[in-house]
Amino acid sequence: MILTDTHTHLYSEEFDQDRTEMIQRAIDNGVSRLFVPSIDSAYTQKMYDLQAQFPENIFLMMGLHPCYVKPETYKEELEHVEAELAKNKFYAIGEIGVDMYWDKTTLNIQQEAFQHQIRLAKKYKLGINIHCREAFDAVFEVLESEKAGDLFGIFHCFAGDFEQAQRAIGLNMKLGIGGVATFKNGKIDQFLNEINLKHIVLETDSPYLAPVPFRGKRNESSYTRLVAEKLSQLYQLPIEEIARITTENSKAVFGI
């Protein structure tokens, strides 16, 4: 059984004490495909080092996270993204999008950076990995403006309602489902089984949003299995089938 974690911040400082063991634990638990999003240039070298250490299991994305879109540095950061894309192999542009939880004052430049990186994704024929926090309208506004046959990707950590899920799917996005699906107040578990599994991929967003029974503690990629177990219950399918379908879906996005 092969499980795929489509979104894990393996370079996070929260793993500094046991990173290698944590990654090996995931692989030993069948989570053998680990996709790592970029947030800004400060972590680029750590990402490359991880890929070199686990070349058969770790696959990188490149992008500028919306929380790191700052007026004084975002243009320089976008230049870094472009430079890395020009010289190295990546499997998606991410994580990119809009975050209205931490800073509403940067909405315009967040949308500008989001659109710019979508166009980079089209240039390199890559999918996108979308961060959306309290910003569905702002994200959909940009996606609609860039809607095209070559726009595809994953709505990372999807936590919207059924209508928003349908809209995202209509824009050629898979839904990234993680620990929130296991929360009592997560809400998406109430309608998820109404969505065809062909639109779903698994993720952890490690070290954040650990699934039950580890909610509130450090998340890690081995917990992808707990998310798969929850989907097995919701869809009334064996976990092996959940793993197979969601991994195939991830291949459609990442090309590997």
Instruction: Please determine, for residue 98, whether its predicted confidence score (pLDDT) is greater than 90.
Output: yes
Note the pLDDT tens digit of each residue in 11-33: 999 999 999 999 999 999 999 99
Question: pTM score > 0.95 for this model?
Answer: yes
Q: How confident is the model at residue 102 (pLDDT cuts 50, 70, 90)?
A: confident
- Smallest Cα–Cα separation from 60: which of 156, 151, 115, 129? 129
CA-based R_g, the chain, Å: 17
User: In one letter, which amino acid is 227?
Assistant: V
3-class DSSP assignment, residue 148:
coil
Note the pLDDT tens digit of each residue in 42-70: 999 999 999 999 999 999 999 999 999 99
Q: How far apart are CA 3 and CA 12, in angstroms?
A: 21
SS3 content of the chain, % helix, strand, coil (to 5): 50, 15, 35
Q: Are 16 and 49 in contact (CB under 8 A)?
A: no
CA distances to 10, 17, 54 from 49, in Å: 11, 16, 9
Instruction: Indicate left, alpha or beta for 149 from its phi (over 0: left) and psi (-120 to 50: alpha).
Output: alpha
